[in-house]
Structure 1
Amino acid sequence: MKKPYLLLSLVSGLLCWLAWPTMPLTLLIFVAFTPLLYITDKVSHAGKYFGLIFLSFLVWNVASTWWVGNTTLPMSGVFANVFNALLMSIPWMAYRQTKHRLSPNAAYFALIVYWLTFEYIHQTWEFSWPWLVLGHAFAMHPGWIQWYEFTGTSGGTLWVMLANIIIYNAWKRARIYDATSKELLRYEAWKPLLVIGLPLLISAFIKPAPDNPDKKTSIVIVQPNIDPYDEKFNNGTSMEQLRKLLQLTSQKIDSNTSYIIWPETALFPTGAWEHELNYQPEIIAIKELLRKYPKAKLISGAATFKLYNSTDEVPVTARTLNDGARFDAYNSALQIDTSNSVQVYHKYELVPGAELVPYVRYLSFLQKVALDFGGISGSYGREPGVNMFTNPKDSINIFPVICYESVFSNYVAEHIKPGADLLVIITNDGWWGRTEGHRQHLRYASIRAIETRKWIARSANTGISAVIDPAGNIHDPQPYWEQAVFSTTVTPRAGNTFYVKNGDLLSKGALIFCILLIIQSLISRFIPGLGYAKGN
């Protein structure tokens, strides 16, 4: 393997890292893949090519998300980085094969199609890891991507891939024709400037509709700062944690407060039965507080258990009690008020390995393999609870997003479509300590706000808690790993964006073209001349 190609591979991975949130050099993402395009043109040996592509993506993954392994089981992070780099290599290997069959421009189109298809699948299967979706690269700059309300993050992915291809071809043509700097500026430079600059210009003219001042809603967000390793999931500490949460809430709640937001698994860290929630001492204590402020409702994370009757259809994730009864464990969100009704939402997008054994329905013996990162080992259940929290009295519908779910563009859009007016994100970002993980996670929430044009209230156990407006701007961020509570206002907003109404049209279109390209590849094996003949 020649050293220049090895160096180019490393440079590509490092450019991706330097462009990634929360690093300051975002614009580098527009050239980060140009070394890989050059390698594709020059390296003919399939094994060497794969090694170079894989190395580049491994550098990007490790440099940007090394903190995934900053847990009690570091090998989980090693596997995640290696496996994700391997998956990222597949679209480029497909692109290499396509170059032999199609014209150069058609092959570039195929590369974009393959990558968009990869990202789409990576958000929908059980090995999902959309953390490094290219559209997330602009999370630090919400003003650049106001048009995400039409395209979602796949629009950003298209922007990145197209810019890299245009810049690479401008450089290649200048090199082939030995163009001077003046000629390069005159004949080629306008193309990448147009591709990069036009979306920025469009974004400057797109603004979310103004809030209705009559609908401002007062909320209290609590950040208890409970150590997830040494305190949170210890038996016998749940009531102590509850007292801390209630004490913090009491500092800011008043008669105008409509919602109190507590973080992920703030209640019942070791689990509580859903059919007995109203009898739990934590719920009773919360209702005592709410009776003093009858306008208020509390939204909190919780670990819950659902018991199945003998007549119920039992999912594969169910566990078995000593008496043979079947039940599921859930990472849940609860909405509590003074009534006897506790609304329960179940987290669906689960972290592979930590909360979910992928495809356990086919590999049931792996049920106990899930890593114990949240107080309850084994795969969590994925059966739905309520679709959103409804509040007929004030006509506000809230979609609760639990931790990892906020990274999923498609999932959030799909679930607010029925009529959510406000997003609440509850999370526990203390697992990875003072790394980029919790900062990236916060920034991705800005993109969800733009895509949906909803206000977001974010409560994080150890931080960063904040509110985010529909333009993606972050307000009142609380210091990480510090106890905090604050009162603020948000504005529930009815109506849906084009992206929420219509879904990810770019990725769906890419999937169709990907299928057509695969069919064309298969047919071309039997019909000579169907592919592109070099020299034509």
Structure 2
Amino acid sequence: MNRTLLAIISGIILALAWPTYGFPLLLFAAFVPLLLAEQQLRLCDVKRKGLKIFGLSYLTFVIWNLTTTSWLRFADIFGASFAVFVNSALMALLFLIYHKYAKRQSQNRALLFLVVLWISFEKLHLGWEFSWPWLNLGNAFSEYITWIQWYEYTGTFGGTLWIWILNALVFKSVLSYQKEPSQSVIKSTLLKCAILIGFPIAISLVIYNTYSHDGDPVDVIALQPNIDPYSEKYNMTNIKFTELLVELSNTKITDSTDFIIAPETFLAESTRLPQFKNSLLKNRLDRYVSQHPNVNLLTGISFIDVFKDKSKIKKETNQSKHNPGIYYDDYNSAILINASGSVQQYNKSKLVVGIENFPYQDILKPIIGDAMIDLGGTVAMKTTQENRGVFTSSNLKFKAAPIICYESVYGEFVAGYVRNEANFLAIITNDAWWNETQGHKQHLSYARLRAIETRRDIARSANTGISAIINAKGEITKQLAYGEKGALSGQLTTNDKITFYVMAGDYIARISLFVLLFLFLIGFFRRPRH
């Protein structure tokens, strides 16, 4: 078959398998056409094989990236282009490295190298400053939670490994059939695939149908203000938003309400951090909480801390353009206010590249200036914090993880809140930037993975998006539709038990990195195979 067509087929299959519209069973053979195209090129006598491999792979991954994440263009065309075309290039580079390795090694060793290389790449995407793990393969099962209840042991890397094991098996079977066409090869392959797909699903179904946990009930209200961030959100005062908070909360509040949860940057007007405790805004929030002494109010807020003391400068600290002697930290924060009178604060620490974070600033800023920040529509780098903060209720029974927006895509990161004793998860987000697209749907869907990995119930408050109640099995039990203004009430159950994944983190990725290094040393520093 034509190699370009094979590359296109792989891209289409990957796109058709992705949530929230796709069928992930397709992923178990999605890379096979591209692997066949690479093998054909490797064995034929043509010039510039490496360039051709990169081009074919790039075609596959552009189709996949463009189809599944082009909704980013509604927030920022520069960011969308960067995410699609650079991420596709990085994925294509993996296949080029595999091609170079496969020329020197046996097919089995080369496939093992590709599997651990891909997993290591996904781990890189979780940690470096150009982080974009949206298309990590294990995310693909987020709408099929009955298949992946074992994520509480493996995290999403278990799903990535599962997909690659099946692709390697199918690819080798196709090669065997090409050498010696027979029904026995087909039957053997189908049997192995049935076992390797069916057995994990069977285990998952058993867990799904038997899982339960004991804990205290938490009555929550998740607010969905449905404020347009392009025309309204940043043109209203925090006092006006406080009035809206009271209005929406009063539609659902009862004497048993434990938490009111408002979305990311709900209080969007930048508030001077040192003055907040004595501000009119704080007074209004305290007044409402005092009327409902059992309530814990968790909301997103924008803080700014302006100073001259150079010893306070952090990595993300900004310098005033008009007064070089003035510095400021810009925070996308969550706060908790209750009857105790104290304010608990957490600062968002997984930032959106180019929008909230200027990656590798020391290197790139001298070259491109503030282009990334300007194009992203913000004026400053956000300041983060090292540890995952957990909010404790006034009665000390409830410990909420204040997960802000993009942070909910990171499994091990969210596990950090649970290791810090969070017994339920509160996701606050603003998904209105992407309009009525797959963006906000995928973001909600990925939250279900965090519920399974940590076995924590979730209350999700979206400014515009989909607010939801999600149980520890990843089931969405209640939700507000996109574009609907309102408040969602529901009951969560706390959980103090720690899953194996929370305890061990991304151990599959760490093992893969070790195996990759070992195979790399063997593959590129030993005599080539003849």
> Closer, same or farther in 2 for the Cα pair 1:99/1:416, shift >3 Å?
same
Q: CA deviation at 1:188?
A: 2.6
Q: Does 1:38 align with 2:36?
A: yes
Aligned to 1:49: 53
Tell me the CA shift for residue 375 of structure 1.
Answer: 7.2
- Change beyond 3 A, Cα 1:186–1:519: closer
Q: Is the 8 A contact 1:344 1:386 kept in 2?
A: no
| Alpha-carbon shift at residue 391 of structure 1 (Å) | 3.2
State the distance in 2 between where 1:349 and 1:117 align.
19
In structure 2, relative to structure 1, the CA distance for the partners of 1:367 and 1:283 (3 Å cut) is farther
Residues 370 and 379 of structure 1 are in contact (CA less than 8 Å); yes or no, is this contact kept in structure 2?
Answer: no
Give runs of aligned pairs for residues 68-467 of structure 1, distance below 5 A: 68-71=72-75, 73-180=76-183, 183-207=184-208, 209-212=211-214, 215-234=216-235, 236-267=236-267, 269-308=268-307, 310=309, 312-321=311-320, 322=323, 324-365=325-366, 368-371=370-373, 376-384=378-386, 387-391=389-393, 393-467=395-469
Cα separation, 1, equivalents of 2:64 and 2:378: 32
Q: Is the 8 A contact 1:370 1:378 kept in 2?
A: no
Deviation, 1:363, is 4.2
Q: Which amino acid letter does the alignment assign opposite residue 34 of structure 2? A: L
In the alignment, the residues of structure 1 paired with residue 38 and residue 354 of structure 2 have an alpha-carbon distance, to the nearest angstrom, of: 34
Alignment partner, residue 9 of structure 2: 11
Cα distance in 1 for partners of 2:487, 2:459 equals 13
Q: Distance in 1 between matches of 2:32 and 2:310?
A: 59
Letter paired with 2:59: L
1:394-453 CA deviation, whole Å, 9 max, x = no partner? 332211111111111121113321211111100000001000000000000000000000
Alignment root-mean-square deviation, CA: 2.0
Does the 8 Å contact 1:170/1:189 carry over to 2? no
> Partner letter of residue 281 of structure 1?
L
Aligned position for 1:477 = 479
Matching residue within 504, 507, 529 for 2:506:
504
The answer to whether the 8 A contact 1:333-1:346 is kept is yes
Cα gap change, 1:446/1:485 in structure 2, threshold over 3 Å: closer, same or farther?
same
CA distance in 2, matches of 1:161, 1:86: 20
CA contact (8 A) 2:296 2:394 kept: no
What SS does structure 1 have at the residue aligned with 2:311?
coil
Instruction: Report the identity percentage.
Output: 36
Change (3 A) 1:12 1:81: same
- How far apart are 1:373 and its partner, in Å? 8.3
**CA drift at 1:376:** 4.2
1:268-297 per-residue CA deviation (whole Å, 9 max, x = no partner) reads x13112222222323221211111110101
Q: Partner letter of residue 458 of structure 1?
A: R
Please give the alpha-carbon distance, in whole angstroms, between the structure 2 residues aligned to 1:323 and 1:97.
50
Q: Which amino acid aligns with 1:136?
A: N
Aligned residue for 1:61?
65
Shift of 1:57: 0.3
Deviates more, 1:155-164 or 1:299-308: 299-308
The 3-state SS of whatever aligns with 1:312 is helix
Letter in 2 for 1:251: T
Gap regions ≥5 residues in structure 1? none
Deviation for aligned residue 1:320: 3.1
Q: Structure 2: which 5+ runs fail to align?
A: 43-48
Task: Report the Cα distance in structure 2 between the residues aligned to 1:82 and 1:374, rounded to whole angstroms.
Answer: 17
Distance 2:316 2:397 in 1: 35
TM-score (norm 2): 0.94
Distance in 2 of aligned mates of 1:353 and 1:331: 15
The total of aligned residue pairs comes to 520
- Cα distance, 1:191–1:385 mapped onto 2, change above 3 Å: closer
State the 1:298 CA deviation. 0.6
CA contact (8 A) 2:296 2:393 kept: no
